[in-house]
Amino acid sequence: MKFPVTALAIGAVLSLGAARAEAQEKQKFTWWYGLTGQLGEVMQSYCRNFNASQNQFEITCTGQGEYADALQNTIAAFRAGAHPTIVQVYDVGTTDLMLSGQYMPARQLMSENGYQVKWDNYISSIGNYYATSKGEMLSFPFNSSTAVMYWNKGTYRAVDQEAPPATWQGVEKAARALKAQGHACPIAIDFDSWQHWEQFNAIHNLPMATKGNGFGGLDAEIQIAPLFRQHANTLFRWYKDGLVQVRTKAGGRTLPESFASGECAMMMASIANHAAITRTAREGLDWTPAMLPLYEGHSRTNSMVGGASLWVLKGRPAGEYKGAAAFLNFIAQPQQELFMAQNTGYIPVTRAGYEGIKQSGFYNKPENHGRDIAVESLLATEPTENTRGLRLGNFTQVRALYANEMQAAFSGQKTVDQALDAIATEGNKLLRRFEQTYRGKTLP
């Protein structure tokens, strides 16, 4: 039996064929990211939203575990010729990407694909971390943060400390008063060098290393600034006096969990923790973020950015770069920066994004109170040689070295000064190893 070919059937066939043709015509490209859990879900949302926003391109986004995993997996994939178009690389992986030469500079990518970008719209203390020594951004700032002080207003109000102290001397006074009332944990710390060493040096305008924190060459050497040496010894003295408790991932509550539960009344941590603390805080917890404290007699300089940027890698088919440029233009729009702020603890990376978020009333909502402090901290001054970022190789290992040495000092295995000396000595060995790996190359 033959069935009549109706106009409706012909239309259905044509529609199906058109849909298939459209699917085939979409330019596909890939992005690998290094975030997990709820943050990984947000990255997937970016990809779904981009795919839904247009019909030319289709991005496939794949989580690689943590930041370090994403970088190592990309290196391995590059050697096999199976690397992604875009990869998310954390702050201290910037030096590795720069020296690899296996990337397409941000300006080149956008210019060649017809996008006009106001590069000076990026907050300078963020953009400079991912830029050459001449200030040309090579990658695209994305999920960004800086360190702040989290302050339990309700607990400290009991000792007549209404506002977070601006100085470390004020921190000690408040903590001793709280301890005298029997509070077991006035201050919580961990051994994360990013918030306790790197940010401390930045806001006090102190160098982490010679050669302008490594911007001037791979032969830079780590320095332990005298003020930081004093500060590390002060924290240990407070630890012995019961003002400080150590919280690490190794056991018990982490630093943010200790604060959110109300157990510890103060901590130094990333602004990226703000959203999680809001979701998990003990009922009635009255708290706020504030800028990191300074030592008296010092003027504040901008804090340093943390987080990651997006790099576009060489060696992919030409059509993929059109998709990459479209995606990077998409996520740079103010409404997408608002999406990031609404769904994570990260901060806007452009001035327009920051102004747009302010005008939306975002920071006036109780659950977002104080999150603008982080941007103000990054905007405190224009970046100096000591605050624009780090160009120090093997710095992931240096951070691990810092944590191990400070753990040894606080557990009584050595003095704080011995630990700091070891950080400098062993850290410089790591820098020399990195220098040898990239012998003959210079930073852009």
Is 405 exposed, middle or buried, given 0-12, 13-18 or 19+ CB atoms closer than 10 A?
Answer: buried
In this prediction, residue 16 carries a pLDDT of: 47
For residues 266 and 262, what is the distance between their CA atoms, to the nearest angstrom?
9
At 24, the pLDDT band (50, 70, 90 cuts) reads: low
Q: What is the pLDDT of residue 8?
A: 39
| Res. 90 pLDDT band, cuts 50 70 90 | very high
The identity of residue 237, as a single letter, is: R
Alpha-carbon gap, residue 106 to 403, rounded angstroms: 34
Give residue 25's pLDDT band: very low, low, confident or very high (50, 70, 90).
confident
Stated pTM of the model: 0.91
Average pLDDT for the chain: 92
Interhelix angle for 416-437 vs 395-410, to 10°? 160
pLDDT in tens, 301-330: 999 999 999 999 999 999 999 999 999 999
pLDDT in tens, 350-405: 999 999 999 999 999 999 999 999 999 999 999 999 999 999 999 999 999 999 99
Virtual torsion, Cα 399, 400, 402, 407, nearest 10 deg: 150
Nearest to 222 by CA among 235, 207, 238, 232: 207
The bridge status of strand 57-63 relative to strand 287-290 is: unpaired
What is residue 375's predicted lDDT score, i.e. its pLDDT? 96
Quick check: 149 and 293 in contact, CB under 8 A? yes
Contact yes or no for 84/32 (Cβ under 8 A):
yes
Residue 267 pairs in a beta bridge with: 150, 188
* Residue 248 pLDDT class (50, 70, 90 cuts): confident
Q: What is the pLDDT of residue 229?
A: 98
279 falls in which pLDDT band (50, 70, 90)? Answer: very high
Q: Which tokens belong to 398?
A: 């240096």
107-117 mean pLDDT: 96
| Separation between Cα atoms, residue 115 and residue 282, nearest integer Å | 47
Per-residue model confidence (pLDDT) at position 104: 96
pLDDT tier at 253 (50, 70, 90 boundaries)? confident
What φ, ψ does residue 52 adopt, rounded to 5°?
Answer: -75, -15
Q: Residues 204, 294: contact at Cβ < 8 Å?
A: yes
- Which domains can be identified in the chain, with CATH numbers? 24-145+305-364 (3.40.190.10), 147-303+393-437 (3.40.190.10)
CB 109 within 8 A of CB 325: yes
Phi, psi of 334 (to 5 degrees): -55, -35
